[in-house]
């Protein structure tokens, strides 16, 4: 429970930093590379959320207290017997919020799809709905379809219809429907985050601006026609959370203003690319390194290291020795593997030391409060005394 809350908290912090960086860099990226550059900068958000989950290098083998063949077992305090109740309550609240957000988005999507009425195929590969809840749009994820309204042929000319369909096909070709699905998932996971609503709106706006640029940039002469086509379509209906809409009245002014921009030069475009990559690499490195600090790390501690039995043959010959073991300790505190690093004399005490070490128990190492696997280097000494070992 606690580990899940820590992951959510860490992801929320780095997600907020990523959103703020995108907001700050957006004007500069827009000047350097246009709407497409701004849209690509949103890769920073999922990368920043995933970077803290990547594994960190396993620390070097920890030197542990030596074990003597006839010494006493070392002991350490056991884990607390009772866990606090509040982490479970917080996880329950988070799950309820996530499920609630998922239900709301699914209902909005189904309401939109039902409002379209019946669909019939068109010769151009799109589908025509019997009603218009906010079309044209790219609907669906696994099998996305371009759906147009019942008055599509009457409202738009042939050239305008071709631009609208190119726009929606560009959404499908660039996987924008999958991006919208990912955004819907993030809204469920981080329903409590105050920046998520703004980030969602801004992402969808940048997605439309980038698609406009991809559609118009190859044909600069069609900018005026494209702008007039946008003016013909004013979205007054609610939108579906997982659909790419052609009409978007709240950002109509911004979309038309973008069409007035000239084609970007190569050098500023390259500078924008370098800036986007630098932001992604720099922030993700910081997010990944944030989990690797030593501040929240506690080494594994010994609970029981029963002394190994002294080999009878070695005792009879009066042989003493030492074996250095590498003991792998799992997150549950149990020994997962034992290897001999060195032995003096070689081959005499190895089996006795390894057999005994497999039965040892430990309190697992902690990183940020979570039990993790670790490795310890434990020297085992075999010393002579006056008592013969038990057979």
Instruction: Assign residue 324 the CATH number of its domain.
Output: 3.30.2420.10
Q: How far is CA 231 from CA 156, 226, 252, 365, in A?
A: 11, 9, 8, 63
Give the whole-number percent of the chain exceeding pLDDT 70: 83
Q: In which band, very low, low, confident or very high, does the pLDDT at 79 lie, cut at 50, 70 and 90? A: very low
Q: Under 8 Å CB-to-CB from 29, ≥6 apart: which residues?
A: 37, 38, 41, 272, 275, 276
Range of the domain at 304: 297-382
**Would you say residue 329 lies in a domain?**
yes
Tell whether the model's pLDDT for residue 60 goes beyond 60. no
Tell whether the model's pLDDT for residue 373 goes beyond 50. yes
Return the pLDDT at 376: 86
Tell whether the model's pLDDT for residue 294 goes beyond 60. no
Tell whether the model's pLDDT for residue 252 goes beyond 90. no
Q: Which residues pair with 186 in a beta bridge?
A: none
C-alpha closest to that of 205 among 252, 137, 237: 252
Handedness of CA 118, 120, 126, 132 (dihedral sign): negative
| CA–CA distance, 20 with 49 (Å, rounded to integer) | 14
**Would you say residue 163 lies in a domain?**
no
The predicted model gives 303-322 an average pLDDT of: 85
**Would you say residue 369 lies in a domain?**
yes
Number of domains in the chain: 1
The predicted model gives 110-122 an average pLDDT of: 94
Tell whether the model's pLDDT for residue 65 goes beyond 80. no
Q: Which DSSP letter does residue 334 get?
A: B
> For the whole prediction, is pTM greater than 0.75?
no
Q: How confident is the prediction for the chain on average, in pLDDT?
A: 83
Tell whether the model's pLDDT for residue 33 goes beyond 90. no
The predicted model gives 308-333 an average pLDDT of: 87
- Ordered DSSP codes for 300-329: -EEEE-PPPPPPHHHHHTT--EEEEEEEEE
**Would you say residue 148 lies in a domain?**
no
Phi and psi, residue 243, nearest 5°: -140, 145
**Would you say residue 318 lies in a domain?**
yes
Tell whether the model's pLDDT for residue 257 goes beyond 90. no
**Would you say residue 363 lies in a domain?**
yes
**Would you say residue 344 lies in a domain?**
yes
Which is more confidently placed, 388 or 10?
Answer: 10
Read off the pLDDT of residues 214-229 as tens digits, 9 standing for 90 and up: 999 888 888 889 888 8
Q: In which band, very low, low, confident or very high, does the pLDDT at 298 lie, cut at 50, 70 and 90? A: confident
**Would you say residue 50 lies in a domain?**
no
The two tokens of residue 376 are 């310890």
Tell whether the model's pLDDT for residue 188 goes beyond 90. yes
Tell whether the model's pLDDT for residue 239 goes beyond 80. no
Query: In terms of residues, how long is the chain?
Result: 391
Tell whether the model's pLDDT for residue 72 goes beyond 50. no
Which is more confidently placed, 371 or 14?
Answer: 14
């Amino acid at each position: 429970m606690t580990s899940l809350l820590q992951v959510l908290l860490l992801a929320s912090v780095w997600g907020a930093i990523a959103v703020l960086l995108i907001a700050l860099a957006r004007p500069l990226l827009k000047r350097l590379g246009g709407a497409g550059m701004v849209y690509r900068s949103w890769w920073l958000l999922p990368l920043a959320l995933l970077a803290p989950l990547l594994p960190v290098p396993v620390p070097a083998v920890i030197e542990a207290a030596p074990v003597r063949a006839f010494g006493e077992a070392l002991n350490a305090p056991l884990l607390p017997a009772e866990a606090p109740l509040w982490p479970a309550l917080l996880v329950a609240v988070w799950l309820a919020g996530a499920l609630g957000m998922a239900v709301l988005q699914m209902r909005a999507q189904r309401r939109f799809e039902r409002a379209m009425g019946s669909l019939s195929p068109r010769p151009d590969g799109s589908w025509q709905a019997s009603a218009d809840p906010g079309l044209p749009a790219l609907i669906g994820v696994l099998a996305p379809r371009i759906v147009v309204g019942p008055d599509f042929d009457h409202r738009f000319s042939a050239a305008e219809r071709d631009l609208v369909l190119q726009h929606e096909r560009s959404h499908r070709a660039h996987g924008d429907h999958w991006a919208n699905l990912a955004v819907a998932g993030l809204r469920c996971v981080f329903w409590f985050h105050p920046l998520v609503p703004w980030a969602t709106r801004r992402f969808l706006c940048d997605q439309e601006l980038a698609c406009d640029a991809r559609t118009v940039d190859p044909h600069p002469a069609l900018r005026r026609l494209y702008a007039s086509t946008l003016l013909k379509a004013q979205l007054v209906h609610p939108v579906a959370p997982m659909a790419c809409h052609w009409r978007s009245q709240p950002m109509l002014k911004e979309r038309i203003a973008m069409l007035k921009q000239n084609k970007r030069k190569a050098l500023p475009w390259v500078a924008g690319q370098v800036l986007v990559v630098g932001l992604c690499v720099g922030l993700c490195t910081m997010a990944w390194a944030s989990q690797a600090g030593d501040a929240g790390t506690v080494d594994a501690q010994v609970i029981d290291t029963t002394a190994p039995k002294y080999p009878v043959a070695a005792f009879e010959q009066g042989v003493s020795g030492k074996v250095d073991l590498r003991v792998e300790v799992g997150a549950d505190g149990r020994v997962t593997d034992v290897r001999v690093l060195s032995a003096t004399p070689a081959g005499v005490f190895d089996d006795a030391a390894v057999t005994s070490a497999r039965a040892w128990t430990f309190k697992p190492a902690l990183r940020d409060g979570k039990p993790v696997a670790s490795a310890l280097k434990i020297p085992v000494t075999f010393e002579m005394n006056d008592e013969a070992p038990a057979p």
